[in-house]
Structure 1
């Protein structure tokens, strides 16, 4: 996992452990970053990247392990202590004071003084000089809220530079920028590198990693699983490492979808054409038929969740068209989508799904509650019969329907949320990571339910980070990359290998896995 470096290490994190409530978030994780390099830190959701960064910057306390920075052992107790020690972090949600001026934000808490008073002339002059070195000519007297996200990123970087930070951590800062703004950010990052500073760059956009980064560390399930120069790890290898599948395993044992008869599907229920909602959704086109399950594949950050929310009316579109059952629609809210026969099972069960203190009965009937009202009062008899039917049909394990849903296992909570939407009798069901955070047995049960829904004629669009799980239920797959749909796979073309190929290279590179297969075969020949 490690390799020798020609330049001295500025940061070395060794055997870092961290648990929350007995659940391990990091297990002997490591990270080494040299001075004067841009280092990519990548991994899927839950891989441990954010936890590792928060331990480095003092937001979390580590349970075990050692951290060395600039040649000495350190144990920062707060983000402020880390900043004072030479480490600055720029998050996706920029931490600036909106109504303060650009100059004030750059020097906040470190204002130069003269005769005991703040030297405003010096602050404005230094801020102007610093931003000019970044190629920006702007009025530093104006409030930072009046400027674009890209300019605010530059201000945050200028603050780090003015504080003489030896290391800058950029955490998903490009996700809200357009191409021109990203290039401006990269120009500044390269200058930081040329000045001998280290940059840790966290991003899910593969092209960006290869454009700006010198080395990469890959994390998965709380562990560091790879560290190498970017030039020595191609895109396909990077994808397979993130997903936990070796090239050899994919080539020898290619998980593929079962053959299904396309004629079994019904009419088109959903059509999206060049759908856009900057910055996460750039150009998505797909169709879902009745009696069909379509998988939306891609790495975290590809725009899958945002696409589903856009289709459900939870986000305003920036362009493109959406049609339901052949009719063009403009959904202004999730209520519009529900009225048109749609349902959305969200990715975050705890934050956007269950109402923890309410009973299973109340959670299950939350969406269809208006249909259970008789003369202004909920018909408890009808509600009870409905709840009992879904508890039995989905095999929900519980004490009774009045039990608080928070007391159920993750898998049974997920079944209740599925039942919530099924009780509304939808024609189209959007399932965003329906098996996330549940055990293996519950995953198999959820997959069986999805297949049964498809077989009864429902249209299903689903996402899953585990490709094998996606392929197990999907008739077709649409692959997303950097907010765009780049490939559509079905029949014999739908496999774990072909999805990885499309994620790594987009459209037009069908030979990548074939080349990998040839390489693996050659290595194994006596």
Structure 2
């Protein structure tokens, strides 16, 4: 990746400012007098844990919400945005962290939704298709614009979200976790787009929990904690340690492999498993793969996007069929069982996309936590509310969910706490093996630490833990073993003392750091 800008602080034109911005929701003060500047043709990165106020501030700057007090200043004049359309008309656009695409519509229709191109006979679909294909190619994607969004993988959907924002002629572009589902190659393409945009004078506001990655494009850093700005600095004045210290108060790591449980009998045995590509059944996305995980062991599966990590975990959990091999759970072949039957046998999956596959957004925290364990407190046709409450209270306590209670709306929680609810839901089924696909996707460094400490704690009690990741640093968190996948096969296995370059070489990734 190319080096960040080294121009000194204070030399760039300010185009947008927040001045003493306060935002309250009832008795909760989300923002406490925030003030910072956005510079023309520069990347301003907002760092902060979940709940620090980053998204609230971005919603105010993009017209989603209005401040309780304070001012937003654009080109030296105080402005009040009544809506996102109002902000967009003034050149400010936002790419939200959670996807806001219509899965039943095509890529093209999503890109032009609400601002269709008109021809004398109606919508100019030909011109929309041409522009859609051009912006997708700019992002390195050979996606047919007429493809339904539902047929795309998560990373591709994220790029469609980005493409939609690029089609608007924005002077200021806010990116909230734009790389959370992207591969290393896709991130590099996006960073190239960012560099091109800033060279043309477009200002970028960037939010990411991938700290090292964010520092690659940052010109100015702004750190929020508990609704207040704790520090601002130019890129030339900071490093990763500075960012972490400003965010959480001290140096931070993701933990170490758990000890205290004697690794004995295999809990999970994967023997020669193959999984077919949904779009091309003659091709295998997982090819004759074998893996063994013992009770109390933590195994990390590392690989680039497309390596087959997600397909493997989903096949083990029963979400997609295997085309060959066996899946043994405590010695019993479960490959022919349904998802519910595998859960009952002691196998649970925390999916990659918690919003789509892990949570029911219309339910409460408690209802989400108890959903997978309903059988344990249903008597006849009735649900034992006392039994359900016990499961919910235990789940909130055991996975350390920060919430007002089981009756709180799931949407009221931060991303990290939502992820802990998904993990708690699986743990409520008392699994022997838990599979986690990108368990830290979209959560901050503090929440990552909490999630990994939780998994280490459960492993000490004898739970077999398998988690996949595309982040190198997470391989060195709590794993006893690191398994590297590439093109559907295991290419290497390492202990926790492996070097980064060895993992990257085994995955086929070029060394870029």
Please, what TM-score do these two structures have when normalized by structure 2?
Answer: 0.59
Contact 1:216–1:230 (CA<8 Å) still a contact in 2? yes
1:75-116 superposed Cα distances (whole Å, 9 cap, x missing partner): 211000000111012335255898679599569648588xx9
* C-alpha distance in 2 between matches for 1:340 and 1:122: 53
In the other structure, the counterpart of 1:195 is: 200
For residues 303-328 of structure 1, the C-alpha deviation after alignment (integer angstroms, 9 at most, x for no partner) is xxx89985983865999997633667
Kept in 1, the 8 Å contact 2:53–2:225? The answer is yes
Which aligned pairs between 1:123-202 and structure 2 lie closer than 5 A?
127=131, 131=135, 134=138, 143=146, 145=148, 149=157, 152-153=160-161, 155-161=163-169, 165-202=170-207
Deviates more, 1:198-207 or 1:417-426: 417-426
Is the 2:136–2:163 Cα contact (8 Å) retained in structure 1?
no
Provide the rounded CA distance (Å) in 2 between the counterparts of 1:138 and 1:259: 43
Instruction: Determine the structure 1 residue equivalent to 2:249.
Output: 245
What's 1:26 paired with?
31
Q: Is 2:75 aligned against 1:80? A: no
CA deviation profile, 1:172-229 (whole Å, cap 9, x unmatched): 3333444443333332221110011101223333453233332332333333333333
Residue 67 (structure 1) aligned to one of 72, 84, 98: 72
User: 2: distance between equivalents of 1:393 and 1:225?
Assistant: 35
Q: Which runs of 5+ in 2 are unaligned?
A: 1-7, 278-285, 303-309, 398-404, 413-419, 440-446, 481-495, 503-513
Counterpart in 1 of 2:509?
Answer: none
Contact kept in structure 1, 2:298 and 2:459, CA below 8 Å: yes
Matched, 1:465 2:450: yes
CA separation in 2, counterparts of 1:428 and 1:268?
10
Displacement of 1:331: 8.3
Q: Give the drift of 1:48.
A: 2.2
| Residue 486, structure 1, aligned to residue 465, structure 2 | no
Counterpart residue number, 1:267? 265
Summarize the alignment of residues 32-431 of structure 1 with structure 2, pairs less than 5 Å apart.
32-91=37-96, 93=99, 102=108, 105=111, 109=115, 127=131, 131=135, 134=138, 143=146, 145=148, 149=157, 152-153=160-161, 155-161=163-169, 165-242=170-247, 244-247=248-251, 261-263=260-262, 266-270=264-268, 289-290=294-295, 292=296, 310=314, 313=317, 316=320, 324-325=329-330, 330=335, 334-342=339-347, 351-352=359-360, 366-369=374-377, 373=380, 406=407, 426-428=431-433
**Cα separation, partners in 2 of 1:67 and 1:321, compared to 1, 3 Å:** farther
Q: Taking structure 1 as reference, are residues 309 and 50 closer, same or farther at Cα in structure 2, changes over 3 Å only?
A: farther
Q: Secondary structure at the match of 2:450?
A: coil
Unaligned runs of 5+ in 1: 299-305, 397-403, 435-461, 492-502, 510-526
Is the Cα contact below 8 Å between 1:96 and 1:105 reproduced in 2? Answer: no
Answer whether contact 1:271 1:288 (CA < 8 A) is retained: yes
Distance 1:425 1:40, change over 3 A: closer
RMSD, aligned α-carbons: 6.3
Change (3 A) 1:104 1:231: same
Task: Give the conservation status (yes or no) of the 8 Å contact 1:275–1:321.
Answer: no
Q: Work out whether residues 270 and 324 of structure 1, in 8 Å CA contact, stay in contact via their aligned partners in 2.
A: yes
For residues 322-355 of structure 1, the C-alpha deviation after alignment (integer angstroms, 9 at most, x for no partner) is 763366755876413312224579989x955996
- Find the structure with the greater CA-based Rg: 1
TM-score with structure 1 setting the length: 0.57
Give the number of equivalent residue pairs: 426
Structure 1 residues 333 and 209: alpha-carbon distance in aligned structure 2, compared to 1, 3 A threshold: farther
In structure 2, C-alpha distance between the alignment counterparts of 1:393 and 1:125, rounded to whole Å: 52
Q: Which residue of 2 aligns with 1:512?
A: none
Q: Which moved more, 1:96-105 or 1:27-36?
A: 96-105
